[in-house]
């Protein structure tokens, strides 16, 4: 299976840095990628601002395959085929920083962007998916704790995926800050990986 990737809500390329073990940059500022994951498409767009520094950084470090457009306006059928979809979908509507009175969860302006991922799963059917978000996603919304995450898990199941998830604290892996994040790994039920996994 070819190791092709698309990166959604790419920021400055965090998933790409990890997957391809980026440890430095050449004299032109381009990332030196030590592994062979082939990133065929990426998207980074920050609404309500003319400045797009994260996109600018991604483009300098990795190249032209990153688009700076609203993912809601992208024709999902035109996204290249890929074996792995990765993304740190926007967390503001789930984050503790917003406060209980301001939380919007999966119905918020950015929370609804999860459905863009779901649409890509429908149109492109990638075998594997790896997503990241704040750990408060598990408790969103506060008035119906776990509802939003339950909706997401059900969405994966309805689209033919099995799912595993873990909350990981970056401090336990050498980072200098306590940064708890949920990682969601999903895979198509028809893959060889699914057949080999222990039940």
What residues act catalytically?
91
DSSP conformation letters of 161-180: EEEEEEEEEGGGGT-SS--E
Strand order from edge to edge, sheet including 180-188: 66-67, 38-43, 4-8, 84-87, 128-134, 180-188, 161-169
Q: How far apart are CA 106 and CA 179, in angstroms?
A: 22
Through-space distance between the first and last CA atoms of the chain, rounded to whole angstroms: 23
DSSP 197: S
User: What's the Rg (C-alpha) of the chain?
Assistant: 17
């Amino acid at each position: 299976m070819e190791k092709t990737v698309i990166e959604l809500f790419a920021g400055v390329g965090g998933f790409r840095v990890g997957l391809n073990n980026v440890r430095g940059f050449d004299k032109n500022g381009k990332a030196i990628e030590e592994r062979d994951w082939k990133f065929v498409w990426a998207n980074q767009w920050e609404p309500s601002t003319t400045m797009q520094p994260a996109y600018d950084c991604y483009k300098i470090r990795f190249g032209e395959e990153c688009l700076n457009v609203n993912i809601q306006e992208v024709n999902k059928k035109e996204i290249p085929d890929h074996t792995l979809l990765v993304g740190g979908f926007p967390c503001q509507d789930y984050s503790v920083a917003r406060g209980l009175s301001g939380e919007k969860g999966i119905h918020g302006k950015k929370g609804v962007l999860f459905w863009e991922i779901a649409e890509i799963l429908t149109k492109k059917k990638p075998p594997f998916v790896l997503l990241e978000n704040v750990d408060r996603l598990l408790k969103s919304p506060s008035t119906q704790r776990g509802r939003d995450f339950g909706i997401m898990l059900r969405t994966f199941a309805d689209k033919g995926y099995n799912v595993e998830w873990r909350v990981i604290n970056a401090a336990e892996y050498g980072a200098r800050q306590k940064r708890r994040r949920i990682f969601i790994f999903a895979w198509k039920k028809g893959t060889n990986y699914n057949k080999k996994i222990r039940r």
